[in-house]
Amino acid sequence: MTAIDLATNPQIDPRDRILGVAYAIFPQRGIRAVEIEELIAASGVPEATFYRHFPSKESLVLAYLERREQVWTLGFVVAGTQRRGTSPESELLAVFDVLDEWFQREDFEACSFVKVMMEMGPTHPLGRAAIQHIDNIRAHVCERAEQAGLREPDAFARSLMILIKGAILSATEGDGAAADRAQGMARDLIEHHRPSRSPVRASSPGVPPA
């Protein structure tokens, strides 16, 4: 049974059916290429019902991005790292184990937030919304970096996001080891951001340390 089949189950609430169809179609086709009429037909709801729940296509895309955050960011990535990690630092590295699992799935479709931002542009309301969802991921990484006691947690989070997005792009290009490569670089990044330790000065022979 496909995602569309599940989304159009008549026992599912009409709003959830519409969102389910959008969740299945938007990642594959993008935003501009999908017409409202197609979404109405695929979800099997009357036109009036569609517009009652989503007055515009933009409102549907915003709801789709919100659901993406709930299902993918929180339900898959964050929950997955928490299951695998035993400490904030290990959770940061476990991000790439979760990504690797995602990369191997048949329904891997790259990052929807980045795709919407690139398609619509960073100044478009939908592009800005997508950027906010990406920033929410970075905020989670920053929080874990703070808990791990790393220096400059915001700078660390921004650098780790480069590795995360780079791994997703490389996997989209067909690099099956993208997550492993990025995880290796993440280990080096963590080492770079560990708290500095004051060097111990060696005392001269016969002279007690100060």
Helix (H, G, I), strand (E, B) or coil at 2: coil
| Superfamily designation of domain 61-192 | Tetracycline Repressor, domain 2 (1.10.357.10)
Nearest to 35 by CA among 25, 44, 27: 25
Q: Is 80 exceeded by the pLDDT of residue 204?
A: no
Instruction: Report the percentage of the chain scoring pLDDT > 70.
Output: 89
Mean pLDDT of 110-129: 97
200 vs 161, higher pLDDT: 161
Number of CB atoms found within 10 A of residue 51's CB: 14
| Fold adopted by 1-55 | Arc Repressor Mutant, subunit A (1.10.10)
Exposed / middle / buried, residue 45 (Cβ in 10 Å: 0-12, 13-18, 19+): buried
Average of per-residue pLDDT values in the chain: 91
Mean pLDDT score, 53-78: 97
Nearest alpha carbon to residue 172 among 3, 28, 73: 28
Specify the pLDDT at position 4: 54
Q: What is the mean pLDDT of residues 78-87?
A: 97
pLDDT band at 98 (very low <50, low <70, confident <90, very high): very high
In this predicted structure, what is the pLDDT of residue 118?
97
Kindly state the average pLDDT of the residues 110-134: 97
Predicted confidence at residue 65, as pLDDT, reads: 98
Share of the chain above pLDDT 90, in %: 87
Give the tens place of pLDDT for each residue, 184-200: 999 999 999 999 865 45
Of the candidate ranges 8-12, 71-75, 89-93, 148-152, the one whose mean pLDDT is the lowest = 8-12
Pick the more confident residue, 204 or 129: 129
User: Taking a C-beta distance cutoff of 8 angstroms, is the pair 126, 59 a contact?
Assistant: no
- When pLDDT is cut at 50, 70 and 90, the band that residue 210 belongs to is very low
Q: Which of 95, 89, 94, 113 is nearest to 31 (CA)?
A: 113
Sorted by where each begins, the domain ranges of the chain are 1-55, 61-192
